Structure 1
Amino acid sequence: MNKSFKHSLAFLLALSILFGLTACAKNDKVIQEEQKINERVEIPDTTETEAPKEENKEDNEAKEESVEIDYQKVRPNELGHIMIIMYHGIVESNPPSPYQRTVEGLKEDLKYLYENGYRPISMRDYIDNNISVEAGCTPVILTFDDGISSSFSLIEENGELKPTPDSAVDIMNRFYEEHPDFGRHAVFYINGDNDPFAGAGTFKERVEYLINNGYEVSNHTYSHAHLSKLGAEEIQEQIGKVDQMIKEALPGYILDSFSYPFGERPKEELRHLIEKGSYNSKEYSYKIGLREGPSGPFVPINHIKFDPLNVPRVRGSRGEEGDLGWYLEYYEKHPEYRYISDGNPNRIAIPKSEEENVNKDSLGDKELYVYTIED
């Protein structure tokens, strides 16, 4: 690559980062000059893909020449909280339970997240420790359980398959069209015995639509089973059936995040069967297991308290303690606990006060950048 082209790439990246700072770092709810970042917060325990695109050589070289941010202004904290939001069905009005959200409610959630510096990321990037939202922004993950038609289904219109109007995917697609800098990511966890995403098209056509449009699909057991009540063979059957079902529809697709039905985990001596097992002589493996609610702090994988088989989620509802509305208000009052990005996916940037909380074995080839906050 010639020198002038490299300089051009660096200049473009600088503009991108400056835009990210304008979009996210300007929010005084996210960045406050006098915050005390060394405070700790613990969330009480409660008992009850699209494949990444391969980067070319020029992209990698541009990242190596990345422009530095003003750390005292942005104050990144890449050990802060990343919420994983749990939705189910989408209804027109008066949801019968906190597991459902109205059409207007989901639109309000997306608008709030966008305007307050949150940016959706893929589960793939979360697991791979490849978070690349703009400097000053906070990543968030949207999940939808049960394969409900109101979260995603297709209709046929003029010979073309399209998302059902006012389904979650249709709402997210339209929001993305208006706000392309918000991104378009969500994970759909399905059961296998209920015709996932019932509507037009085959199961294969439905899941292909999802992954071809930036979404992901994964495993929620075959029959929404109570895993805490099952033995080893039954657990593997419940997981293995859906694992094979998705892989047959999407050859080569990687499945490695799992959603526990009801938030229930198997008995402790059987929990290893979430990570690895087999059914019908075919093996499966999963790296993380998602709970039903805030079973612990929403820490990222580089934190010493990250528990891969006990990953908490927050219900996508408003009005109850511990749901999405409650946490959004909490982070307005305590922005120091949010994950704040430095805009560089190759660097894990943290304030000095967080250094003792880094799991250095999880960093891989990432650079750990520790800086001191100047008061």
Structure 2
Amino acid sequence: MTKFLKSSLAILISASIFLSGCSGSPQDSKADQNQNQDKNVTAVEPSVTQPNIDLSKVTPNENGKIMVVMFHNFVSSFTPSKYDDGQYTTTFNDFRKLLQALYDKGYRLISLNDLLNNNILVPAGCIPMVFTFDDGTPGQFNLVPDGEKLVANKESAVGIMEEFNKTHPDFGLEGTFFVNLGLKVFDGDGTVPERLKYLIDEGFEIGNHTMTHIHLNEARSAGEIQKEIGGEQKRMYELIPDYKIFAFSLPFGQPSKDLQEFVIKGNYQGVQYQNSAIMEVGWDPTVSPVSKKFNPLSIHRVRATGIKPVQADLDWWLQNLSRNEQYISDGNPDTVTIPKGKEADIDNNRLNGKKLVVY
């Protein structure tokens, strides 16, 4: 499905909020259980047309927090070892269960690019979420033959998402894959260009993770950093002409202490690169893209729950982050709706042409 069709579908769903199941969806979190759910909300008639929603029920807050989830490895089964206890590994079955759980809780996927541009198209009452995948591992995605064509392996994260999308199209089929083009990328059938093109054609995004997954804080020169990051963009142009990478994920979560300006932008062998977004290694949700606190060059992520759960992973946040703290959509792509008293938190320059509605 093309990105245009996905956006059109999102808008259609937003206009038919009672079909979405998100309007006023409860969150089964400890934090919600401890909060007063009976507060009175006075709606102020906005100056632009909105979907016909009950603001007192939906209680939209488009200045709330958004979870950007960080995935790494996916496997059928796993045996812990002294070298790997499974903190960064998810089983395929657990991933299937996760998608259903997120859907039932009212989460809907958006792309990283849409987060950056405040182009969040999910139905009223739904909560946007971003999926990111680091390292280009085959469990995330690999191709297998299906007759005369190559398709995503159903035993991969992408294959599982595609299957889920068939029965839950309003959940979204979005994600950004941060790869190292100097190493193995989605090992399996097909060529590297075929693998990347498949993802791009499905609407997924490709991000920069350096050519060889270096420790940026150990890089000794600007030239070394530009070779790793600019070399990745150069290689991407060779594999998929005209595909410009816009986002970067810090390998090992480590920025460069003295050369961070070259992580953001630079030039390698005549190829320029500029990262509009830089992803941290996860520990907490990011703020809304309309918040004055939003920094696209330091986007916080939430670590996906692995076989060995840890504090502040996704399951932990699902239990401890209240609905009231999160970004709750008003269902209208032309407005940003917030509760009264939150106006001072909004960066008007980031509204991206949308009307600010306060209730």
Please report the TM-score for the alignment, with normalisation by the length of structure 2.
0.86
Cα distance per residue 1:58-98 (max 9 Å; x no partner): xxxxxx75534222221111111110101111111236321
- How far apart are residue 246 of structure 1 and its match? 1.9
Could you tell which deviates more after superposition, 219-228 or 349-358? 349-358
Residues paired across the two proteins, number? 329
Is structure 2 residue 18 aligned with structure 1 residue 34?
A: no
Look up the match of 2:305.
317
- 3-state SS of the aligned residue for 2:131? strand
Structure-to-structure mapping, 1:299-338, within 5 angstroms: 299-317=287-305, 319-331=309-321, 334-338=322-326
Match of 1:69 among 53, 77, 97: 53
Cα distance per residue 1:311-339 (max 9 Å; x no partner): 111111152111011001112xx211110
Structure-to-structure mapping, 1:222-371, within 5 angstroms: 222-230=211-219, 231-267=221-257, 269-294=258-283, 298-317=286-305, 319-331=309-321, 334-371=322-359
Given the superposition, is the C-alpha separation of residues 136 and 201 from structure 1 closer, same or farther in structure 2, using an over 3 Å criterion?
same
Which residue identity lines up with residue 329 of structure 1 in the other structure? Q
Provide the C-alpha distance between the structure 2 equivalents of 1:15 and 1:329, rounded to a whole number of angstroms: 27
- How far apart are residue 22 of structure 1 and its match? 4.9
Provide the C-alpha distance between the structure 2 equivalents of 1:193 and 1:140, rounded to a whole number of angstroms: 30
Provide the C-alpha distance between the structure 2 equivalents of 1:17 and 1:98, rounded to a whole number of angstroms: 40
Given the superposition, is the C-alpha separation of residues 86 and 15 from structure 1 closer, same or farther in structure 2, using an over 3 Å criterion?
closer
Structure-to-structure mapping, 1:102-113, within 5 angstroms: 102-113=91-102
**Partners of 1:78 and 1:340 within 8 A in 2:** yes
Provide the C-alpha distance between the structure 1 equivalents of 2:88 and 2:138, rounded to a whole number of angstroms: 15
- 3-state SS of the aligned residue for 1:233? helix
Is structure 2 residue 189 aligned with structure 1 residue 200?
A: yes
Look up the match of 1:24.
22
Give the aligned CA root-mean-square deviation in angstroms: 2.2
Match of 1:90 among 61, 65, 74: 74
- How far apart are residue 252 of structure 1 and its match? 2.8
Provide the C-alpha distance between the structure 2 equivalents of 1:14 and 1:284, rounded to a whole number of angstroms: 36
- How far apart are residue 124 of structure 1 and its match? 1.7
- How far apart are residue 209 of structure 1 and its match? 0.5
Given the superposition, is the C-alpha separation of residues 36 and 199 from structure 1 closer, same or farther in structure 2, using an over 3 Å criterion?
farther
Provide the C-alpha distance between the structure 1 equivalents of 2:282 and 2:24, rounded to a whole number of angstroms: 31
- How far apart are residue 14 of structure 1 and its match? 8.4
**Partners of 1:36 and 1:336 within 8 A in 2:** no
Structure 2: 5+ residue runs without aligned partners?
1-10, 42-47
- 3-state SS of the aligned residue for 2:338? strand
Which residue identity lines up with residue 341 of structure 1 in the other structure? S
- How far apart are residue 341 of structure 1 and its match? 0.3
- How far apart are residue 16 of structure 1 and its match? 4.9
Provide the C-alpha distance between the structure 1 equivalents of 2:140 and 2:320, rounded to a whole number of angstroms: 27
Cα distance per residue 1:137-174 (max 9 Å; x no partner): 01001111101111111112322101123111111111
Is structure 2 residue 149 aligned with structure 1 residue 182?
A: no
Given the superposition, is the C-alpha separation of residues 297 and 144 from structure 1 closer, same or farther in structure 2, using an over 3 Å criterion?
closer
Given the superposition, is the C-alpha separation of residues 169 and 79 from structure 1 closer, same or farther in structure 2, using an over 3 Å criterion?
same
Provide the C-alpha distance between the structure 2 equivalents of 1:229 and 1:148, rounded to a whole number of angstroms: 24
Which residue identity lines up with residue 225 of structure 2 in the other structure? I
Provide the C-alpha distance between the structure 2 equivalents of 1:194 and 1:311, rounded to a whole number of angstroms: 25
**Partners of 1:21 and 1:134 within 8 A in 2:** no
Provide the C-alpha distance between the structure 2 equivalents of 1:144 and 1:341, rounded to a whole number of angstroms: 25
- How far apart are residue 36 of structure 1 and its match? 9.8
Look up the match of 2:4.
none
Among the aligned pairs, what percent are the same residue?
A: 38
- How far apart are residue 34 of structure 1 and its match? 2.8
Provide the C-alpha distance between the structure 2 equivalents of 1:202 and 1:179, rounded to a whole number of angstroms: 30
Which residue identity lines up with residue 34 of structure 1 in the other structure? D
- How far apart are residue 175 of structure 1 and its match? 0.6
Which residue identity lines up with residue 172 of structure 1 in the other structure? M
Provide the C-alpha distance between the structure 1 equivalents of 2:124 and 2:290, rounded to a whole number of angstroms: 18
Given the superposition, is the C-alpha separation of residues 73 and 200 from structure 1 closer, same or farther in structure 2, using an over 3 Å criterion?
same
Look up the match of 1:118.
107
Provide the C-alpha distance between the structure 1 equivalents of 2:292 and 2:13, rounded to a whole number of angstroms: 35
